[in-house]
Structure 1
Amino acid sequence: NWKIPQDEIDKRRDLRNQQIFSIDPKYAKDLDDCLSCTKTESGNFLVGIHIADASYFVPYGSPLDLEARKRSTTFYFPNEKFPMLPLILSDNLCSLLENEDRLAVSIEVEITHHGEIVKTDFFRSVIRSQKHLDYETAQKLIENKMESLDYSVQALGDTVRMLYRVSTILRNKRFAEGALSMPSSRIRVKCDENNLITIHPEVSLDSNVMIEEYMLLANTLTANKLVQSIGRGVLVRSRKSPSHKKLATFMEQCKLVDIEIDITNNATIQNSLEALHQDMKDELTENAVANVASRAFNSATFECTDERTTIDSKEYHHCDLNVRFYGQFTSPIRRYSDLITHRQLIDVMEKKKQSITLQDMKHIARLCNWQRKQANAASRDADRLYMATLLNSTKKPQVEGIVVEVTSKKVKLLVPEYDQNKFVSFGRNCKTEWHSDDESFHFREPNSDRWLAVKLFTKVTVEIVPRLHNSLWGLDLCVLYPPRANQDLLVKQRETTTRETIREPKKSGKRK
């Protein structure tokens, strides 16, 4: 029954009469963001990005804040979530629910038809979301397929299509300026209230891409605003450029299988990946190339800007996005880094002294890095547990995998259908050999004279086998003999003595 106090409304810009709405997963309850879009008198687009003002409910240094800092993020699992903030906040009072007055921090951006940003305005607001759209419904609006939709949803059609057009302009401009996007496939594991487990691929619609574009825009604009205003102590998300040596190794690996990748810069890598997509029409190989390429790139990390930082500094560059500063602002309900960014931005808007010290910011950056890794690992482990539980009671699936790494001893396979990326063994009774001339790994079927040769980007058929190890369920990959639909990989029988192989030398039992 909580209502926004009138004195708080008086301090903010009232946008409750504007056409504002959210686009999120169908059953999401922690709604961080809403959008709006109108035309200006000059014909430009005025895009509003409205983010939940969680900082209003979580004072800095309070017990609630300290607990949120310790958690740093919301943990998501197939059957439930462990929120960073109490549910009364994350799913209700902070959440930008449909037809409810809510507090927000808004960014209004005036954008030309060429994607140039004319003006940016940051302010605290009061909003009322007219509708919570899921991605599938938003996609129907984008495609103008509105026959089956309610009138209240159809009324948003023109605005959604306008937002989509602007996001496409921004996206094309971003890639023209050197941004990079690696193809990837993800799966979603769900367990409902009846303990029914389902596994299905995560499909990226135009509506998903549209929302992502506006979140990237808001995060970049906020980081630039803070760096310009306060310089030091800004929490940014940085991803260093890969070394030329690692990129050259990636290029040579691709050449071995007749895949050409130009590593001159981000734009040429992106063009090479797009050409690969057009030529091959093979999603599995595209994912494998991206997987191998990702090993050349550094992981993104949170960092805290120092006293020497200016808007022209390059040491916090995000190489994928090709921007000098990138922050996290758009998910304050479920990420502590975003909550911190809100506090810093509000201090700037209200011309107050920064409430968070530089020492605290450095500690928060380290903590957010650690907890992000923990959350990702926990989510992957939970997915594997539920997949193993499901497969343990069903017939073991046989699916296609692809080689993404070959060493003199083992082979790593990527199986996107079950989110598996791991080294596989070929069994104790399987004879194996490493060929240095073409960097291929040969193994022989048990009780057979036939050899199978695999190298980078070779496709093989694998069986997904649930296993119990140290009281924890997981998944193993078993290469089938003979591999289904892979007869072209069979190597003609020949004497082992004629093979040019590299064998590991036997280790002496003596200790030096």
Structure 2
Amino acid sequence: MNVFFEESGDFKAGAVMSQTPDSYQVELASGKRCKVKSRDVLIQFAAPSAEQLLREAHVIAEEIDLDFLWEVAGLEEFGYADLGKEYFGATLSPAQSAGLIFRLHSAPIYFYKKGRGHYKAAPAASVQAALAGIEKKKQQAIIQADYVEQLKAGTLPSSMQAMAQQLLYKPDKNTLEYKALAAACQELHTSPERLMLATGGIASAKDLHFSKFLFDFFPKGTGFSHLMGNVTPPELPKNLPIADVAAFSIDDISTTEIDDALSVKTLADGMLQIGIHIAAPGLGINREDAIDNIARSRMSTVYMPGDKITMLPNELVEIYTLGAGQTRPAVSLYATVNPADWSLISTVSKIEAVPISENLRNNTLDELVTEEALAANEGDYPHKADIAVLWQWAQSLEQGRNLKRAGFGLKPEQNNRTDFNFYVEDDVVSIVARKRGSPLDKIVAELMIFANSTWGKLMNDHGIPGIYRSQGVGNGGWAARMQVKMLTHAAPHHNLGVDQYAWSTSPLRRYTDLVNQWQIMACIQHGVTAPLVAPFKPRDATLFAIVSAFDAMYSGYNDFQSSMERYWCLRWFAQEWQAQRAKHVEALVMKEDLLRLVDIPLVIRLSGLPSMPRGSRVMLDIIGWDEVDLTLEARFLELLSSPDTALTIDEEETEADQEESSDEIGDEIADETATEIENDSLSTPEIPELSTDTHQPEP
């Protein structure tokens, strides 16, 4: 005897070897034996053989007309045998019974299973809807297949052109377009980004990185029209006292958001009055007004080589920027200094209108204003005497900070690193090395640090909160103590060598500085009653939210800037390669397999690099680069020179720690100068986190 039975949703047939009241021992055609419960057996038959029955049943199942079978079934639940009699006739052969079961089971659209061998015909509306769905899927499959073929042929389907970024950065994986893109990538063994570049969905690798950033941070675009609405920029404040100074700024040639200027005046008693003048957009922007909401939504100007996205609308920037030949509102910090020993006598803060005589550019002055030229009183340039005075005081300020650093247990800072400025025109990049710590850099940096520290103390003395940056506070190891934190109360910044440090000197470019400017102006205007009228009161929850949001957004902006600088470094290689100038490049060993190129600010990892001391200079052979992955492929050629290896291991570790510390200090100082440059200098020690390079060592 043979049986036809159901097992785990599948139908099988086999010869019965033995039987009990509850089960059968069955041998399948494959020779495998299994135990079958009696309740699972649907048909018992003597002939034909189990194997032949299955063959015949499948043939019969294919011949059954589903539509006619559904009409015959009626509306009530039925057993397969009852329906078989209606369809085939009074008597069913074992093969017909099995074929009918196969057909019923394979058509869930027409028949709902109700138990072993029992079914019920689906309602007509359900059948029609299901058939329409199947037809729709067939048509979608045809369209999807067509999309795949177009993509493989290098053409982007028209329906995908407007959603290219959506497909790359935040796809709906249920759409035909995404499924087609994924299928084409799988067949071509490529990534969606590269396929979009190949088909024109993304114009270039630069646009790929830029559009990803915009998609994440500026989904509605970088313009201000959708934010401004009917808002008009504020007018210049009237009736401000006009300062009796001729102030000047020092910035890069491409800077447009000029928010700091300096002045020098000799007083009647021979003392010097040194002024630090900061643009005052806080006079025209009020907390929670429309422009404040815009600034808070962006938190900072975004910098990248050749371009920027400003925090504030250009109309407002033009009103408050400290442009030459204009008198503009400013928050001024005046320091009275004794030129005999450059000691600080007193400070006073004012809100006033400041005449701006010049916008000096360090691109043209760096070669003229050197330490040697200043010492010899050489050269001819605007505000030469003022710059000489500021240089002397800047050196004194630096010495004072180094003494404070020593009190914090740190060595004197070292600002001998090289920064790099990026200039991009018509997709041609120039990378210009610039030694950190030039006189102009130091003047601006020291005076801005002085202002940020002084105004931080002013807020703290008046009992109102601000947004401070601190370092070296708290417990933990070196890394924990050196981490820069943002707080709403005054705390030391050990690396800078100040007791408190509150960003206040870039209110056109950073929201934290604008917030602090409101608080500082409350101190200046209201004195001891400032806590009652300051926009942010102690323990204001909104201030904590601003700190958290700024920290996250500023970090994202910096990551993007670093990525774009890395991209332009690779583009520089492409330019030099075409000019036959960049086949071999020099690099410095930072540690282990980490290298920093000499000519451009690019840090790479080179696996298999022979062990050598930090600071060793090596020659690399450039094999290639990838502007999508931002990777560089190179191999080690030869060791050019080694540093002094007389240091012990402990001394080397100390020097390494000091270098890292110095880099952090330099970045803080550079933030007051280099970040004012539209193409901000790259902090190379941070790049290894972005590096995913793969390299081949010398055979």
The answer to whether the superposition gives a TM-score over 0.5 is yes
Match of 1:220 among 443, 447, 453: 453
2:431 paired with 1:199: yes
| Aligned mates of 2:466, 2:477 — CA distance in 1 | 31
Which residue number corresponds to residue 283 of structure 1?
none
Partner of 1:273: none
Q: Aligned partners of 1:228 and 1:416: how far apart in 2?
A: 47
Counterpart CA distance in 2 for 1:87 and 1:321 is 33
Show the counterpart of 2:184. none
- CA distance, structure 1, for counterparts of residue 601 and residue 349 of structure 2: 40
Residue 128 of structure 1 aligns with an amino acid whose one-letter code is: P
Match of residue 181, structure 1, among 413, 416, 435: 413
Q: What are the Cα deviations for residues 216-263 of structure 1, in whole angstroms up to 9, with x where unaligned?
A: 1111100000001015x22101112697964xxxxxxxxxxxxxxxxx
Deviation at 1:301, TM superposition (A): 2.5
Q: Which residue of 1 aligns with 2:600?
A: 418
Counting matched residue pairs gives: 387
Q: 1:190 aligns with which of 407, 412, 423?
A: 423
Matched residue of 2:482: which SS? Answer: coil
TM-score (ref. length: structure 2): 0.52
* 1:356 matched residue in structure 2: 536
Matched position secondary structure for 1:177:
helix
Percent same amino acid at aligned positions?
18
CA distance, structure 1, for counterparts of residue 353 and residue 496 of structure 2: 31
The counterpart of 2:632, out of the listed 476, 479, 485, is 476
Query: What do residues 53-91 of structure 1 show as CA deviations (whole Å, max 9, x unaligned)?
Result: 01123221122212211211111111111011111222x
Are 1:301 and 2:485 counterparts? yes
Letter in 1 for 2:584: Q
Q: Are the structure 2 counterparts of residues 345 and 464 from structure 1 closer, same or farther at C-alpha, using a change threshold of 3 Å?
A: farther
Query: Which has the bigger relative contact order, CA under 8 A and spacing at least 6?
Result: 1
Measured against aligned partners, the alpha-carbon deviations of 1:187-207 in whole angstroms (never above 9, x if no partner) come to 222211x32211121233211
Deviation at residue 214 of structure 1 after TM alignment: 0.6
Q: What corresponds to 1:250 in structure 2?
A: none
Question: Larger deviation: 395-404 or 27-36?
Answer: 395-404
Q: TM-score w.r.t. structure 1 length?
A: 0.69
Cα deviation code 1:149-197 (max 9, x no counterpart)? 5xxx3xx2222212222222222232233264244322222211x3221
Q: How does 1:473-512 map to 2 (within 5 A)?
A: 473-476=629-632, 478-481=634-637, 483=638, 485=640
Q: Say which SS state the counterpart of residue 28 (structure 1) adopts.
A: coil
Question: How far is 1:297 from its partner?
Answer: 6.0
Aligned to 2:506: 331
- Partner Cα distance (1:339, 1:54) in 2: 8
Q: What are structure 1's unaligned runs of at least 5 residues?
A: 247-294, 310-315, 427-442, 444-451, 489-512
- The amino acid that maps onto 2:482 is N
Could you tell me how far 1:298 is from its partner in structure 2?
Answer: 2.3
| Kept in 1: contact 2:402–2:497 (CA 8 A) | no
Change (3 A) 1:461 1:244: farther
Partner of 2:393: 166
- Given candidates 14, 21, 37, the residue that maps to 2:242 is 14
The question of whether the paired residues in 2 share the 8 Å contact of 1:115 and 1:173 is answered with no
Whole-angstrom CA distance in 2 between matches of 1:39 and 1:486: 52
CA distance in 2, matches of 1:487, 1:48: 47
Checking the alignment, whether the CA contact within 8 Å between 2:569 and 2:602 is kept in structure 1 is no
Per mean C-alpha deviation after superposition, the further-off stretch among 22-31 and 350-359 is: 350-359
**Aligned residue runs from structure 1 range 19-34, under 5 A:** 19-34=246-261
Q: Which runs of 5+ in 2 are unaligned?
A: 1-232, 407-411, 644-699
- Does the alignment pair 1:80 with 2:307? yes
**Do the aligned partners of residues 23 and 467 (structure 1) sit closer, same or farther apart at CA in structure 2, a change above 3 Å counting?**
same
Contact 2:566 2:602 in 1 (8 A): no
Q: Is the 8 A contact 1:187 1:417 kept in 2?
A: no
RMSD of the alignment, in Å?
2.8
Contact 2:613 2:642 in 1 (8 A): no
How far off its partner does 1:340 sit?
A: 0.6
The 1:244–1:336 alpha-carbon spacing in structure 2 relative to 1, beyond 3 Å, is: closer
Match in the other structure for 2:277: 50
Q: Confirm or deny that 1:346 pairs with 2:508.
A: no
Change in 2 beyond 3 A, CA 1:422/1:366: farther
Distance 2:400 2:642 in 1: 45
The secondary structure found in structure 2 opposite 1:326 is coil
Alignment of 1:16-165 (within 5 A): 17-90=244-317, 92-113=318-339, 114-139=341-366, 140=368, 143=374, 144-147=377-380, 149=381, 153=382, 156-165=383-392
